[in-house]
Structure 1
């Protein structure tokens, strides 16, 4: 069972996204801040990370940069998702592997995660 770690400060997005992914047999952990991002990832060992832009503490871009600069974690695919009109530019700046503009269709969420998992193999 693939493990998905979702970072978003919007409780509704966390609830809906995690419910959809769990229905598709993913193991999901949700976090509403990125205060302990490295510790969270090392402990959970996700196969894919979904990272929102607007997060308490250091924010999504900085959190992804920390992940990608860590030799132990840098190969974990990260999906950057945001309602920011510059989502593509921010995803590139952060070093994310994929991006998903908000609002998104639930099928698009599953599709990007499936793509990330398939390319990771």
Structure 2
């Protein structure tokens, strides 16, 4: 079974690029345009990684990251935060995401980060 990635991204064109790149890497990709849609569906999917935009129409990816990392059932799942904001250093202090990607991003860099984080999780022994 393919690994699952939940993407929270409100720009359709950016989501489509991400989806193409990650599907080429043989991931199953699920997209959400709003925080409310993400929250309503994420627990039904059992994802292996979260990819979160920061600026969203009904919330903030940093807040979503904090919620995911504080919840018992999702705190072990890697989170990657994507942002066009130049203050990534400040964001790193605000949430415990495993990685951050600046927009615009290189698609090979995105794939490499996702592959590294998902493979890292596969290598860790189950608790």
TM range (shorter): over 0.9
CA shift in 2, pair 1:91/1:120, >3 Å: same
8 Å CA contact retained: 2:8, 2:38? no
- The alpha-carbon deviation at position 55 of structure 1 amounts to 1.1
| Residues 5-59 of structure 1 deviation map (CA, whole Å, 9 limit, x = unaligned) | 1111111110111011112211000111111434422111110110000012221
Over aligned residue pairs, what C-alpha RMSD do you find?
Answer: 1.3
CA shift in 2, pair 1:31/1:37, >3 Å: closer
Q: How many Å separate the matches in 1 of 2:54 and 2:92?
A: 9
Q: How many Å separate the matches in 1 of 2:17 and 2:42?
A: 21
Check if 1:82 corresponds to 2:83.
yes
Equivalent position of 2:7 in the other structure: 6
Q: How many Å separate the matches in 2 of 1:74 and 1:38?
A: 15
Question: What are the residue-to-residue correspondences of 1:1-121 with 2, within 5 Å?
Answer: 1-121=2-122
Unaligned runs of 5+ in 2: 123-127
- Deviation larger for 40-49 or 89-98: 89-98
Q: Which runs of structure 1 show a deviation greater than 3 angstroms over 4 or more consecutive aligned residues?
A: 36-39
- Deviation larger for 29-38 or 103-112: 29-38
Q: Which has the greater radius of gyration?
A: 2
8 Å CA contact retained: 1:81, 1:100? yes
- TM-score, reference length from structure 2: 0.89
8 Å CA contact retained: 1:8, 1:32? yes
8 Å CA contact retained: 1:81, 1:87? no
